[in-house]
Structure 1
């Protein structure tokens, strides 16, 4: 897999690219090929994090000694078996609950709860049906008491996701893809340092999903936030992310950690993506044939 990854670490060993293999195109300050040079995202540190749930008096371990550093402006995709703990890790990063063991930090500061610098986009858009697109996107500035000063930013964010003509529409008048764009705009209007994506495209039809993948990558490249994506779609992870983390079965441990050393914009027919897909499916214990 020449030039596909800078590193694949597994329990069995590691992969290193051949000498001289590299992606072409502009790189950010943190070295991500093809990314915007203006990186404004935050670093994340997950330090020996374990987590368990109490179920009817018994303990269900979900995460086991997860240790991970994410550079500012990286786009990291989390892959692993269903129910292994990926979404739980996102909740911990978001500060929605504390870990059972270990610590999490954003830019070196402890994560002790939710913060406007970290926003989550879920699988369901969860829009308020009585609010227009504009009013849904304006929810954050309104809650913070800054809407009067942020009206232009709301307009710009809606335009950035391609919905200027629908700013007065209500959620029931939108397609699934449009509703998810509103959800993204609502998150991005707060200018987050970390965008947490919990399978945001999982319920979209295949064509809309492909379009939204490209749009999210474009927003990330333009705005420079750090992105952490949970997905069960290997192709989605490889098409969007600068780095992929593969988890084991529950309780989740990091099974592999590799960088996708390909420039943006990426092309779905690139044979190097097919090669890396084969490697990723093998790590997941799945059939790697098309």
Structure 2
């Protein structure tokens, strides 16, 4: 675990330096063999600077598609997305996506994987101190010369997070980033992700299928319907940080989310 995590979680959230994201009546569809396949239908959502928002919904409902639209990886079929008032039309280093798979280059060391963005932009010489700071922030400064095959799953995902934050993003887009980790490593990484968010002050938009994870991390949880996804509930989580998983407030929010998803019968 990152040694500074506990201290970071005890401190207040950093002064918000994050993005103001406005999703305005966004719809999206794909061309399928039987014709257009709607996946997102009229979604409107604001993410305030420095806010942590999570998306919950059934598998295949369009959550990851919505993340791709926010990141600028493809344009929406209808509606618009604004980043600090400017329409999102393409990817940008200020909006970084962290996927479920760390997608590290096996022939590059940990340090070189983290430095990939600055190197691609020709700014590595100026940003080398930021690379070292990012490694330290995720507790991997002693593994800078290691290669991906020498890392555990949790360590590899820390490299992916360091590679993201070295770009100093104002929005971190998280597409099930902890989904492939074992349960104990996942709990540890949730705490470390919170520490990064609190220290850096970026806005965060998370997709997860883990209801408990959503409420442990996020300030607001948006529940989406089956495809095409529509917002069916917005649950505000006012539990203070650091949070405790046994907090009855989190249990009640989890029950509400499961009710909206039709899965509350056994809770």
TM-score range, shorter chain: over 0.9
Give 1:50's aligned residue: 27
Select the residue among 206, 210, 213 that pairs with 1:236: 213
Alignment match, 2:154: 177
Choose which of 140, 156, 170 in structure 1 pairs with 2:133: 156
Shift of residue 111 of structure 1? 0.2
Deviates more, 1:173-182 or 1:266-275: 266-275
User: Aligned partners of 1:108 and 1:139: how far apart in 2?
Assistant: 29
Query: Aligned with 1:45: secondary structure?
Result: strand
TM-score normalised by length of structure 2 = 0.94
Aligned to 1:144: 121
**Could you say what secondary structure the match of 1:105 adopts?**
strand
Query: 2:62, 2:12 → 1: CA distance?
Result: 29
Give the distance between the partners of 1:47 and 1:83, measured in 2 at CA: 22
* 1:166 to 2:143 alignment: yes
The DSSP-based 3-state class of the residue aligned with 2:259 is helix
Match of 1:111 in 2: 88
Shift of 1:238: 0.2
2:8 aligned partner: none
Deviation at 1:231, TM superposition (A): 0.2
| Residue of structure 1 in register with 2:187 after alignment | 210
1:105-148 per-residue CA deviation (whole Å, 9 max, x = no partner) reads 10000000001100000000000000000000000111111111
Q: Is contact 2:104-2:160 (8 Å) kept?
A: yes
- Tell me the alpha carbon deviations over residues 209-265 of structure 1, each in whole angstroms, 9 at most, x when there is no partner: 000001001100110000000000000000000110000111110000121001001
Q: What SS does the aligned partner of 2:214 have?
A: helix
> Are 1:87 and 2:64 matched, yes or no?
yes
Contact 1:199 1:231 in 2 (8 A): yes
- Higher helix content, 1 or 2: 2
1:201 equivalent in alignment to 2:185: no
Q: How far 1:45 sits from its partner (Å)? A: 0.6
Specify every segment of 5 or more residues in structure 1 that has no aligned partner in the other structure, as ranges.
1-33
Superposed CA offset, 1:21-53 (max 9, x none): xxxxxxxxxxxxx75141100100111101000
Match of 1:61 in 2: 38
Change (3 A) 1:57 1:288: closer
Specify the alignment match of 1:265 in structure 2: 242
Aligned in 2, Cα 1:279/1:288: closer, same or farther, shift over 3 Å? farther
Instruction: Tell me by how many angstroms 1:99 deviates.
Output: 0.4
Residue correspondences, number: 257
CA contact (8 A) 1:137 1:186 kept: yes
Structure 1 residues 35 and 43: CA distance shift in structure 2, 3 A: farther
Q: Distance in 1 between matches of 2:176 and 2:204?
A: 12
Quick one: distance in 1 between partners of 2:166 and 2:24? 30
User: Any idea what SS the aligned residue of 2:233 has?
Assistant: strand
Runs of 4+ displaced beyond 6 Å:
none
Distance 1:288 1:37 in 2: 39
Secondary structure in 1 matching 2:45: strand
Q: TM-score, normalised by structure 1?
A: 0.87
- 3-state DSSP of counterpart to 1:215: helix
Decide whether the 8 Å contact of 1:121 with 1:183 is kept in 2. yes
Q: Which residue of 2 aligns with 1:134?
A: 111
Measured in 2, the distance between the counterparts of 1:150 and 1:131 equals: 18
